[in-house]
Structure 1
């Protein structure tokens, strides 16, 4: 493969639609290969804006604005990095000959929980929990009664767990309805899911292109309000469960097709594995791979996009801990004690220009040669050394 310099007539050009902290790492990995990078988002000075060759701020829900920047820049590859995006723009770009990663249909299926659940459960026949879709509060009450309590309630479209809640009793349904309706994204329809009393949940990072499919070691994670706060790799699980998880991940990603990395989320109960969701892009829980692998999820994503080999080396065990803002401010400052910068840790501050309570602003990464549990405890200790004002 030939590699040129950025900003030349023959440059390979990657455009990110969505420029948060995950996109920032993708841009950095692409630039290491001399790839020209264009970062697009709905607000100025997004994390990936700060490291890309070019940056645009547009309305990501506006089809014409997305197509305008695509036609202007003529990227080799378009990488949608957020769910809140006009999908018709991607379909039209694809029809015009642009290469959407992994493909517009996969983005469309995965950005909507109804589409991907029906695709996985009914077409691909992978194992999932029971579910129903509702559009009214009365429908929610009926579905919850059918499902039993507790049950999980989510908008069919939202990002980073926004709008998700667990109703433990019928008296919780009104609050769950309000939480879902206030979420960013499309809350016109909700999914009501069986609460699987799982032992743990994992992300199976699955990287594919036309040449091969590669699995990273399973990542365990803990969520709070639908968004991850801790992750660790590898997750200690039986070989039977691991094989089932890989089989589900391959079935789903083969069904979606295209190039790139997919974060396949699953619930595990003993040796039984249930499919939950999939994101066709780097996954927030996968930030731990920046310290555990020779090729992080971001590097693997870029390699897959370019059609390059996907092999890598596992260094050992690691964990990540997300730091979320405690304040609302237009001038965020994250204070980190010096002891957080240890020989077996990384700190990543995202540089977001504005914070609000609960917004992810930084991450602590820790490494241990032999134990994920030790790495996780170290990450929990280090994240306590973070504060903001």
Structure 2
């Protein structure tokens, strides 16, 4: 394991070597924060020119779901720390790396659990007692029918392994189940391996809103950030804001649930001899009656947490870098930096087309005070792709959200 004496300047004399598995926009910000603390970083992804690869010391291109390719990369780099930034990774190789003494963030076991909805739900609800929607698991269309009848219609069907809403659908009657099953099989991870994916079928909750509670496990324990509100389309992030306008008792319950699931995962890591350090994005449902349900947890910085680049003294990426490197993260490190009674917001810039995207009008987009812009530098778009994020602060949630829309509207985006 890597201790503080092995960190790069100014914390030590020997650079920590870090392998980033996944080099998207979140990975880019993590790499920048790690390099600020003196670490050496190699960023890997499945395509050339990924955002994090543009700023890391070195980069590699490979299929990280291929165990042989991933094992060869780990042997080549000989990292002190491996940071998974995506889910399409051969997790068995992460376990092998951990067995060799490499620190996997937050741990190889946590990475495997969080990418498997069945394992995660069993841990959260059946082992830790967290409230969730009623659910069943199914490995065939007949089992899906039985599960849907048990939880009731309408119900939500998701593959056990997928991300960004892929393979997810709503069945409003038994007539919809075959189409939902087929959608889950198409949208699951590793859909070309010829195997059948198990699915989870969940009761349709009377949803008021969704929250993300960024929770940090570090050498000094577990702390949380202010809850983040969010809006999604087709299971993918589109907007987020912080703080949220909810009763203090609801927010305290949200914080407690987030700490409970993260501490439960960290206990699993400790049982495997691993640290369990890093940022977790805990997703919660707020129901119309004010109650809360656990949904999922991401064992890494979260899409909705991009708002922290303008809202907090230390962004989720800076917090992740500190935790990973063994630097204690306290509750004061997660505090907001915006004025009291104000709000910060983020809005994904989603581009459609086929080719390279260019942006003009940045000077217009940033003409208003309290606005920021991050363009990710992704080399191309085919269909639709998140290519940037607009950030703002204002006196209210709606004003902050409106300002991010104004930023996006001011940009001229061409795909060619």
Considering the TM-score relative to the shorter chain, is it more than 0.5? Answer: yes
Q: For residue 291 of structure 2, what is the aligned residue in structure 1? A: 272
Q: For residue 340 of structure 1, what is the aligned residue in structure 2? A: 365
Matched, 1:356 2:356: no
Secondary structure of 2:382's counterpart equals: coil
Supply the distance in 2 between the matched residues of 1:156 and 1:380 (Cα, whole angstroms): 34
* CA deviation after TM superposition for structure 1 residue 309, in Å: 3.0
From 52, 63, 71, the equivalent of 2:75 is 71
Q: For residue 90 of structure 2, what is the aligned residue in structure 1? A: 86
Matched, 1:291 2:313: no
- Contact in 2 for aligned 1:82/1:159 (Cα 8 Å): no
* CA deviation after TM superposition for structure 1 residue 182, in Å: 1.6
Superposed CA RMSD: 1.9
* CA deviation after TM superposition for structure 1 residue 118, in Å: 0.7
Q: For residue 195 of structure 1, what is the aligned residue in structure 2? A: 204
Secondary structure of 1:221's counterpart equals: strand
Change (3 A) 1:259 1:145: same
Secondary structure of 2:357's counterpart equals: coil
* CA deviation after TM superposition for structure 1 residue 12, in Å: 1.1
Gaps of 5+ in 2: 192-196, 267-275
Secondary structure of 1:320's counterpart equals: strand
Supply the distance in 1 between the matched residues of 2:15 and 2:335 (Cα, whole angstroms): 29
Structural mapping, 1:57-136, within 5 Å: 57-136=61-140
Matched, 1:31 2:49: no
- Contact in 1 for aligned 2:41/2:56 (Cα 8 Å): yes
Q: For residue 147 of structure 1, what is the aligned residue in structure 2? A: 151
Gaps of 5+ in 1: none
Matched, 1:180 2:184: yes
Supply the distance in 1 between the matched residues of 2:151 and 2:188 (Cα, whole angstroms): 25
From 41, 44, 47, the equivalent of 1:43 is 47
Supply the distance in 2 between the matched residues of 1:335 and 1:181 (Cα, whole angstroms): 40
Supply the distance in 1 between the matched residues of 2:144 and 2:360 (Cα, whole angstroms): 43
Supply the distance in 1 between the matched residues of 2:242 and 2:377 (Cα, whole angstroms): 26
Q: For residue 365 of structure 1, what is the aligned residue in structure 2? A: 391
Aligned residues: 386
- Contact in 2 for aligned 1:324/1:357 (Cα 8 Å): no
Q: For residue 381 of structure 1, what is the aligned residue in structure 2? A: 406
Deviates more, 1:337-346 or 1:88-97: 337-346
- CA deviation map 1:93-118 (0-9, x unaligned): 01111010111111110011111011
TM-score (norm 2): 0.88
* CA deviation after TM superposition for structure 1 residue 186, in Å: 4.8
TM-score (norm 1): 0.94
* CA deviation after TM superposition for structure 1 residue 285, in Å: 0.5
Q: For residue 336 of structure 2, what is the aligned residue in structure 1? A: 314
